[in-house]
Amino acid sequence: MEGFTQKPSFDKGQVSSHKLTDIFFNQSLRYKGIFDLPELYRIIHSWLVSKGFEVHESKYKSIVLPGGAKERSFDWFAFKKGNEFVMVHMMIHFQFQDVQQIEVVENGEKKMLNKGLMFIRVAQELDQDWSERFAYSKLHKVILRFMADFMWQKKVETYWEDKARFKAYELMNVIKEAMEFMTKGNEHYDVW
């Protein structure tokens, strides 16, 4: 399986923002069977947009294999402002292998669906000072480091990381519901 591509840069020509955390949440889902790929794209994208994320596709790769099957791999990078200092990034990696189009009769109607292997990974991270208020001098960077390590650390851990983690749980539940998994549902659905 392939990894993530580098996320788009938010630099404005100054020193880049202070990375608050590494990837602090990583969740994946594997599925083998029949699925409606365009509908899955639409559901995930509309959920991200409804939650205030701006979504960009940073990589798309499609290969046709001998025999007519396809392999697809692409990354979505979504971000949203938490406040003037914190930005939440969500990276979603999709990988599809041995995808073939099949015709299925559902409720008396013929539909074109996909059959194959699917892998989806959701990872998140937080950026601090994304607006680069503290990126103009070494003193500002020292102040930012002090505030991040001592003053804001508990708020980030107990508020921003938890909120982002529960939103990722909610996204994975939406994907499971779209795929009609037996394990759909989430005990954290109504936390945030």
Confidence of residue 131 (pLDDT cuts 50, 70, 90): low
Q: Is the pTM of this model over 0.75?
A: no
By the 8 A CB rule, do 90 and 53 touch?
yes
Both tokens of residue 127?
């950026």
**Counting Cβ atoms within 10 Å, is residue 58 exposed (0-12), middle (13-18) or buried (19+)?**
middle
In one letter, which amino acid is 74? F
Q: Which residues of 21-30 are buried (b: 16+ CB within 10 A; e: fewer)?
A: beebbeeeee
Quote the Cα angle for 60-7-78, to 5°.
Answer: 80
Over residues 61-90, the mean pLDDT reads 85
